[in-house]
Amino acid sequence: MTSHELPLGRPVDYPRHYDAGLLFPIARTLGRTALGIAADGTLPFAGRDRWHAYELSWLDARGKPVVDVATFSVPADSPNLVESKSLKLYLNSFNATRFDSADDVRVRIAADLSEAAGAPVDVRFGLPPMATEANDVIDVDALDVAIDDYGPPNAAYLSCGEDIVEQRLRSGLLKSNCPVTGQPDWAEVRIDYRGPRIDAAGLLRYLVSFRDHAEFHEQCVERIYVDLLARCRPERLSVEALYTRRGGLDINPWRGTPGLAPPVEVRALRQ
């Protein structure tokens, strides 16, 4: 089934009652096969997909509305990702449904997302703090470069020198498009590595070459990770994208060298 054939690309009725069947899992192998990642479960990275839900509401036992925010963390080695529009519809199905307690809601969401993803999903109320930028982060967007390539993603721009460095790079210029709806997805990319020095201008051109590309958030981050790994051979690599919200949700996929601790959870200014 192609992305254009998915039911998520069609108009749908607003959900009136809780319905776990609204969640639409998509096999991760669909995107990973194109990246040359083996289908046997052997991954070149560790990772997680961290969702922030800003529009979560339900009714208490007496029918009074409750509102909250929540963070969901889906392991990158789960068989499936969950499509964002389906997650929005699913969360909206809680709006007119009564629950005895907030923990009942948390447990129900965790069970449903775990079933859809095929692996345990952590659910907790609350959001990470806003990021405070460290002085040693290099903003590649400040480079004065001419760019005229907006897709498809072109890994040929990536190159590195011979000196070994530890660097943290960021760019707020990542844009791709949803393969289901065609809507734009915007993100800040954070790259932390140790290895041959990455050419910053080439990295910027590479990230901008996603601009007209249609791919899910998680797949874009895995593509960036795999391309950097192949072109620059870092000893340690961490790639995280902090996507802006759409439909009351944002997603923050992270992929890193196996065994590497995840980055501290934060939100970007545009989130």
pLDDT in tens, 116-141: 999 999 999 999 999 987 789 999 99
CB neighbour list of residue 4: distance below 8 Å, 6 or more residues apart: none
Rounded Cα distance between 162 and 175, Å, is 30
The pLDDT of residue 168 is 97
The pLDDT of residue 53 is 98
The strand ranges marked E within 11-64 are 25-27, 46-59
Residue count of the chain: 271
Structure-token match 């345990």, residue found: 120
Q: Which of 160, 178, 220, 232 is catalytic?
A: 178
- State yes or no: is 178 an active-site residue: yes
Per-residue pLDDT for 18 more than 60?
yes
Q: How far is CA 248 from CA 17, 74, 145, 243, 271, in A?
A: 19, 18, 35, 12, 10
Q: From the annotation, which residues make up the binding site for NADPH?
A: 84-85, 246-247
Alpha carbon 124 to chain centroid, angstroms: 18
pLDDT in tens, 24-34: 999 999 999 99
pLDDT average, residue stretch 86-93: 97
- State yes or no: is 148 an active-site residue: no
The pLDDT of residue 40 is 76
Residue 197 CA neighbour count, 13 Å, CB half = 9
* Three-class HEC string of 188-201: EEEEEEEEEEECHH
Q: Which residues pair with 184 in a beta bridge?
A: 177
Lowest-confidence pick of 29-38, 95-104, 244-253, 255-264: 29-38
Q: From the annotation, which residues make up the binding site?
A: 82-85, 217-218, 246-247
Q: Which of 185, 192, 199, 227 is catalytic?
A: 185
Mean pLDDT across the chain, nearest whole number? Answer: 94
The pLDDT of residue 10 is 58
pLDDT in tens, 55-68: 999 999 999 999 99
pLDDT in tens, 143-199: 999 999 999 999 999 999 999 999 999 999 999 999 988 999 999 999 999 999 999
When pLDDT is cut at 50, 70 and 90, the band that residue 249 belongs to is very high
Rounded Cα distance between 250 and 155, Å, is 26
When pLDDT is cut at 50, 70 and 90, the band that residue 8 belongs to is low
Rounded Cα distance between 220 and 176, Å, is 8
Written as one string, the DSSP assignment of 104-125 is: HHHHHHHHHHHHHHTS--EEEE
The 8 Å CB, 24+ separation contacts for 9-15 are: 9/180, 9/181, 12/89, 14/92, 15/89, 15/90, 15/92, 15/93, 15/95
Q: From the annotation, which residues make up the binding site for substrate?
A: 82-84, 217-218
Of the chain, the percentage scoring pLDDT greater than 70 comes to: 95
When pLDDT is cut at 50, 70 and 90, the band that residue 9 belongs to is low
Rounded Cα distance between 46 and 197, Å, is 22
Per-residue pLDDT for 50 more than 80?
yes
The pLDDT of residue 214 is 95
Q: How far is CA 207 from CA 103, 152, 201, 218, in A?
A: 40, 10, 10, 15
The pLDDT of residue 48 is 98
The pLDDT of residue 1 is 44
